[in-house]
């Protein structure tokens, strides 16, 4: 999907999510777009993920910053799956802003 479609796809996914499920948004979009997307989800269900380096060659070990109200709880779960994820912020949009700093 393109960055221009990210908000629309998030809105569609929000309608399908069940309580206790999470939507992890790995799109490289503006922090404001991530905040707008999060508004369509149950509180805490939207997780902002910033991919901090190119995926090849690190693949699953590519550094990920996790943001949002449930990010601190989700990061260890992703680590348990073998991902190089770490908690970055409690607010949606913050980790995307960190990634976009020149």
Q: What is the pTM (predicted TM-score) of this model? A: 0.91
In the prediction, which pLDDT does 99 show? 82
**Range 56-82 average pLDDT:** 96
Domains parsed from the chain with CATH numbers: 3-99 (3.40.50.720)
Query: 2 falls in which pLDDT band (50, 70, 90)?
Result: confident
- Per-residue tokens: 45: 């269900």
Hey, how many other C-beta atoms are within 10 angstroms of the C-beta on 13?
A: 17
Which residue in 50, 64, 56 sits closest to 96, CA to CA? Answer: 50
**Burial class of residue 3 in the structure, from the number of CB atoms within 10 Å of its CB (0-12 exposed, 13-18 middle, 19+ buried):** exposed
Question: Could you tell me where the DSSP H helices lie in 1-101?
Answer: 6-16, 31-38, 71-80, 94-99
């Amino acid at each position: 999907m393109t960055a221009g479609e990210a908000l629309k796809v998030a809105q569609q996914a929000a309608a399908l999510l069940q309580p206790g499920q999470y939507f992890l948004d790995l799109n490289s979009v503006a922090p404001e777009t991530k905040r707008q997307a999060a508004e369509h989800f149950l509180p805490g269900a939207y997780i902002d993920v910033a991919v901090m380096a190119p995926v090849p060659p690190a693949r699953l070990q590519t550094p990920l910053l996790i943001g949002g109200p449930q990010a601190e709880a989700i990061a260890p779960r992703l680590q348990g799956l073998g991902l190089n994820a770490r908690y970055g912020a409690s607010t949606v949009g913050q980790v995307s802003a960190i990634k976009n700093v020149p």
